[in-house]
Amino acid sequence: MKQLMNTLRKRDFEKERKAVLRMEMDYELLTLFDAMMEKNEIQKAKSKEKLEKIRTELLRLKAL
């Protein structure tokens, strides 16, 4: 029973984390778009780096 509860908690956590990562990705894409419109190379690089980290974690969670 304990193992089942741990599995369910883990599944709930992963589901919640995927939703948060998708929101973060949407926000970061908006930030990247704004940086591109402003021709802000520094912010573009930061946004791309954050997006890559989000992508890596989503792949780890098998959400992509």
Taking only the tens place, the pLDDT of each residue in 26-36 is 999 999 999 99
Paired tokens of 33: 């778009």
Distance of CA 53 to the CA centre of its chain: 7
pLDDT digits (tens, 9 = 90+) for 3-57: 877 888 888 888 999 999 999 999 999 999 999 999 999 999 999 999 999 999 9
Sign, Cα dihedral of 22, 24, 25, 26: positive
CB–CB of 24/49 below 8 Å?
Answer: no
What are the DSSP calls for 38-50, one per residue? Answer: HT-HHHHHHHHHH
